[in-house]
Structure 1
Amino acid sequence: MKAIILAGGRGKRLRPITDYVPKPLVPLKNIPIIEWQIKYLKKFGIDEIIICTGYKQETIKNHLNVKKIGMKINFSVEKSPLGTGGAIKKAGKMINEKSFFVINGDTITNIDLNKLKKKSNAIASIELRTNFGILETDDGKITKFSEKKEISDSWMNAGIYHLEKEILKDLPSKGDIEKTVFPDYAKKGKLNTVKFKNVKWYSIDSFKDMEECSLEIEKIIK
């Protein structure tokens, strides 16, 4: 199977690092995010990836060209930002298979892609997480205080999709899949999810995310 990595963003919240290197090359334990993602995808038998790039795309190409990645890599270059939907639509022209995976370029996880693959047009979902203390109250008084990272039975988009090739025709040339096709498919009952509990998942959006993920990443992606 093939996988698309959405790696065209500017990564503004990781400045000043991303003033010099694109977000996919931001290191975690001295290894760039995109190399961790490639290692993760290889574990599930992905033999070809398409990287959607824009900002500093030549830097990403040059870096991967000198590495022995062990799989075929193609690039779908955006001259201007297309959004996630537009990026997938453009990259999808290189896909002949019936279905494919998509992963956000800043997502580090151990979600089982084999389970996700069992459903068509499916979003991997994880329990909603919070880094804040959870209060339980009764009549204006706090009855319980607990530090939680997961809120039971509330699910969030993990940024990993298994999509049928047929979806490409419905994607916008410019715009986000999460704001266009997904809501439309959901209304029509054409969108599925696979729920994952007790998985490791990080979205690298801040220096704190980098720090926390670096401590865990060798356990997450083996």
Structure 2
Amino acid sequence: MNVVNEQVIIFHINGLAQMSKHKDIHKYTIEFTENFWINLLEVAGHGNVKQFIIQALKVALEARTIKSLILCGGKGTSFRPLSVATPAVMLPIGYQPILEYSIDLLRKHALTEIFLSVGYRKEHIQYLITEKDFPGVNLGFISEEEPLDTAGAVLNAKKQFKSTFLVMNGDLITNLDLSKLLEFHRTVVKEGGIATMFVLEHDDSQVELNKEVNQITSFVNNSKKGFNYVNAGVYIFEPEIFPYIDKQVSSLENDIFPVLSEEGLLYGYLPETQVYWNHINSPKKYKEGWADFLSGKLDF
């Protein structure tokens, strides 16, 4: 660690570690700059620093075991003629394509095992990955030989996911705290749920949410029922979701989520604080994305 003209705070943690077949107590020394230490105390509180650091490390390590799938195989027909030669997720907003915002978000939260479900004009996406450097990230491709829609793309990637995994649409930009989403999902599993959906209050709504228990009680895609929440396109799934998907099922939104909500297996995560979110599925939303970039709203 490079420290220039700053006092260094020495902090000791007694950690419990399991080494081969026996347990032992290990002492660790961590050095913080004074400014970092002050910020840490503000977040953790004076009496909780040790537990705060241990919990933060635990969350980071658990995140590294979770694999992610970004859905980017669609043709983006609503963007034509812009999407004739390139996938919609590769259209630029600012200095990078839309897809790269999702990769950056996952990497920020230590979710570094990422698969891209690619189909239409997939060579453009593969070129991005070979030309760009994403430090610490392992990126893989899963090809859709024919358009699979959202559920089909998840089923196509089944062999990669043996435990909890994350799925997100490739055509959205958000600064959602994925660490909090994962923490929420752990409580969902304890309640017997197998799927968590990121939801927001929105006029274009599909979701009926029981806020007392955070359970989605009804899901109707393109609903006109006056529901108050929208599916925001980021999900945490357990492998138990796969029996609900077969080769005849194509859409998470039309085929899977309505069934899971009826069976009490689908929960909704509504962030406590405001988040940025833009589902860029139309020229209007694309224009809004550029306006937000120029105004500095995308400086996450």
Bin for the TM-score computed over the shorter chain: 0.7 to 0.9
* TM-score, normalisation: structure 2: 0.63
Q: Which has the higher contact order (CA 8 A, sep 6+)?
A: 1
Q: How high is the sequence identity, in percent, across the aligned residues?
A: 32
Matches within 5 A, 1:2-151: 2-70=67-135, 71-96=137-162, 98-117=163-182, 118-119=184-185, 120=188, 121-129=195-203
SS class of match (1:93): helix
| Partners of 2:148 and 2:250 within 8 A in 1 | yes
| Structure 2: segments with no counterpart, 5+ residues | 1-65, 189-194, 205-225
Pairwise CA distance, 1:208: 2.3
* Distance of 1:206 and 1:153 partners within structure 2: 22
Question: Which one of the candidate residues 156, 171, 180 is aligned to 2:230?
Answer: 156
State how many pairs are aligned: 200
Is 1:204 the equivalent of 2:270?
A: no
The one of 233, 246, 251 aligned to 1:176:
251
Q: Indicate yes or no: 2:270 matched with 1:195.
A: yes
Supply the distance in 2 between the matched residues of 1:87 and 1:56 (Cα, whole angstroms): 16
Q: Is the 8 A contact 1:14 1:206 kept in 2?
A: yes
1:213 to 275, 286, 289: 289
How much has 1:16 moved relative to structure 2? Answer: 1.2
Cα deviation for residue 115 of structure 1 reads 2.2
Following superposition, the deviation at residue 153 of structure 1 comes to: 7.8
CA distance in 1: counterparts of 2:292 and 2:165, whole angstroms: 28
Q: Which has the larger radius of gyration?
A: 2
Quote the Cα distance in structure 1 between the aligned partners of 2:299 and 2:255.
Answer: 32
Amino acid at match of 2:275: V
| CA distance in structure 1 between the aligned counterparts of 2:101 and 2:166, rounded to whole angstroms | 16
Query: Does the aligned pair in 2 maintain the 1:4–1:49 contact within 8 Å?
Result: yes
What's the counterpart of residue 148 of structure 1?
none
| 8 A contact 1:40–1:221 mirrored in 2 | no
Deviation for aligned residue 1:221: 5.5
Q: Counterparts of 1:63 and 1:220 in 2: how far apart (Å)?
A: 21
- 1:219 Cα offset (Å): 3.4
How far off its partner does 1:64 sit?
1.0
Distance 2:252 2:236 in 1: 13
Partner letter of residue 40 of structure 1?
L
Runs in 1 of length 4+ with deviation above 4 angstroms? none
Distance (whole Å) between structure 2 residues aligned to residue 88 and residue 220 of structure 1: 29
How far apart are the structure 2 equivalents of 1:210 and 1:179? 25
Gaps of 5+ in 1: 131-151
CA contact (8 A) 1:101 1:160 kept: yes
Q: CA offsets, 1:113-164, max 9 Å, x none?
A: 122212241001001147xxxxxxxxxxxxxxxxxxxxx9811100110111
Matched position secondary structure for 1:19: coil
